[in-house]
Amino acid sequence: MSLVNDVSNQLLDRGNFFCGYVAIVGRPNVGKSTLLNKLLGQKISITARKPQTTRHRILGIKTDERAQVIYVDTPGIHGNSRVALNRYMNRAATSSLQDVDVILFVIEASTWNDQDEYVLNKLSGVEAPVILVLNKLDKIKEKENLLLQLEKLAGKMNFAQLIPVSARSGEGLEALEKAVIGLLPPSEPFFPEDQITDRSERFLAAEFIREKLMRSLGEEVPYALTVEIERFEDQGNLKNIQAVIWVARPGHKGIVIGKGGSLLKGIGEQARKDMEQAFDCKVFLQLWVKVKEGWADDERALRSLGYYDD
């Protein structure tokens, strides 16, 4: 008997069990990835203050005695699709609305803008129930303002529920999880009980490096770079990882390296610590910076760098 079936029998013996896919969608920079990491209690999706930090769909799997919830973290849905990378991210996000059991539409609790309206239009006609998640509750000082916002937003769509949360502090997440599980179908789990994501350690290593770049660089450069893992070797309790940071312009290379290599060294040290914590082993990390002009608007280059539709 397979591991999945073994787990299924163990969980189903506990009573009614529920399982399904839950898409997390919204405009850029509303805290979708922070929400996923908090729900899982583990970091699998990178975060930064800059919009469009998330570029790929990532599954985050949470299994307990009640249910297996398969969260689908997505890039921010946005109207700007001028380059191929933006079009790829929009496809990754909007295609996640299909064949899921629940949709979490995440917004900022204090704000509703044209970008939120754009996402709302993308949700018209979806079959799955939509929960409106009002994130960043901790930033609202006057709770009366929240009540007024809830009343106003309730008329936007026939939402299954409207739930205020703070992904940063965890406030409201228990109510959110309860609402999600209440909308999932009865089913045995799809993944082993101890699996937390569908992404490989190789993918996560590249994302940890890119997160540090997003956080360390100015406004323009982070959107014009990507990370490719060239070597990922297990050597006992050590992982030997070599990665290339691809930038789109020759002038960006020096910015990423920094004076005397200081910026690149700091990024490598921070990323290595994240990897050692996630992979539970020592990591030897080497980074190089190279130029691939125009990669973000080249479909073939995007595919070669891992940006392909699932």
Same domain, 33 and 110: yes
Same domain, 179 and 40: yes
Structure confidence at residue 303 (pLDDT): 86
Structure confidence at residue 1 (pLDDT): 29
Measure the CA–CA gap between 163 and 130, rounded to whole angstroms. 11
Structure confidence at residue 292 (pLDDT): 92
Domain with residue 40: its CATH number is 3.40.50.300
194 assigned to some structural domain: no
Same domain, 227 and 288: yes
Structure confidence at residue 5 (pLDDT): 41
- Read off the pLDDT of residues 191-202 as tens digits, 9 standing for 90 and up: 999 999 999 999
Same domain, 167 and 48: yes
- Read off the pLDDT of residues 254-302 as tens digits, 9 standing for 90 and up: 999 999 999 999 999 999 999 999 999 999 999 999 999 988 888 888 8
Same domain, 115 and 209: no
Q: Which domain holds residue 262?
A: 201-304
Structure confidence at residue 13 (pLDDT): 45
Same domain, 141 and 210: no
List the structure tokens of 159: 């939402």
Q: How many domains does the chain have?
A: 2
Same domain, 141 and 277: no
205 assigned to some structural domain: yes
Same domain, 153 and 211: no
Same domain, 146 and 212: no
192 assigned to some structural domain: no
Domain boundary at 149, 183, 217, which? 183
Same domain, 261 and 179: no
Domain with residue 255: its CATH number is 3.30.300.20
223 assigned to some structural domain: yes
191 assigned to some structural domain: no
Domain boundary at 136, 153, 183, which? 183
Measure the CA–CA gap between 174 and 171, rounded to whole angstroms. 8
Domain boundary at 183, 214, 238, which? 183
Structure confidence at residue 202 (pLDDT): 94
Nearest to 133 by CA among 89, 71, 195: 71
Within the chain, which residues score under 50 in pLDDT?
1-14
193 assigned to some structural domain: no
Same domain, 146 and 260: no
Is-contact 25 119, C-beta < 8 A? yes
Structure confidence at residue 309 (pLDDT): 64
Same domain, 171 and 207: no
